[in-house]
Amino acid sequence: MSDLPSSISLREVGPRDGLQNEAPVPTEAKVELVNALSATGVRRIEAVSFVHPKAIPQMADATEVWAGIDRRDGVRYSALVPNLRGAQRALEAGFNEIEVVVSASETHNRKNVNRSTAESLDEISELIDVVHDAGSTVQVIVATAWGCPYEGDVPVERTVSVAHRAVRDGADGIGFGDTTGMATPGRVSRLVGEFRSAAPEMAVNLHFHNTRGTGLANVMAALQLGVDDFDASVGGLGGCPYAPGASGNVVTEDLVHMVEDMGVATGVDLEAMIEAAATAERIVGRSLPSQVLRAGPRTRTTPA
């Protein structure tokens, strides 16, 4: 498959996106999970989110988690924030990679951060300047990029318009989030194509959920377009507290298993990631939707 990228960059989002939708787990368990993931070869980990504890109590100990992990050379740790105050807290904690989220859907943005999309974009413009002045980078993630549980389909033009505003304001990268798994391969191709036409030089990250079983198919469609930057979540943890039905993200170990077999390098030790998924399953106390955790990799055999 020579038309695919030779390698991709994975950002592991289990400790943040994964755990925000679970019953709160102890700080030391979160630290254990981040440390396990840091040993898998994954080069980027979304470690925490600086949100108001009343909004998402699962992330109330972000500062303690960040202070407790063993930070590994070669691994980049990032924090997600909803607003300028969250970005200031992340910078104060020592993060130099910040992600801020805004929804293409007006209704979801109000549910998520209690303001309009336009109001969020205005604050993000200020946030970008503050983060850049601190010598750090900002990726703007456009949530509900393909659809919203409240509004239904979100027009491609709307999503691209929100993303392009962030580009004009100086974002270092753009992510598109499929918050409730409404994307399909054709829709992925259209959005990526439209955005590239509007901002051909801007780095693109894609964040898929497997809510309707299309997660890996969407990854494949994006790979065929040359996209080489994806989010994934260990064990398939994940979801959005403000999006009904938003079940887990694309599973990291399932994604690694698929693309490595196609000759696309990830840098991830699959067996180590499977062990990390088992750790995640133990921490949350329930069975996770990972297929490779259950069945093992294709190369694993059972003695006759």
Active site residue 240: yes
DSSP result, 228-262: -EEEEBGGG----TTSTT--PBPBHHHHHHHHHHT
Q: Any idea of the CA torsion for 132, 134, 139, 140, to the nearest 10 degrees? A: -70
Q: How far is CA 159 from CA 62, 69, 156, 196, 227, in A?
A: 30, 36, 5, 12, 18
Q: Which residue is catalytic, options 127, 174, 216, 240?
A: 240
As a whole number of angstroms, the distance between CA 185 and CA 222 comes to 8
Instruction: Answer whether 66's CB lies under 8 Å from 297's CB.
Output: no
Q: Are 12 and 207 in contact (CB under 8 A)?
A: no
Q: With beta carbons less than 8 A apart as the criterion, state whether 237 and 13 touch.
A: no
Give the C-alpha separation, 92 to 85, whole Å. Answer: 11
Q: Tokens for 88?
A: 């200031």
Q: Give the catalytic positions in this structure.
A: 240
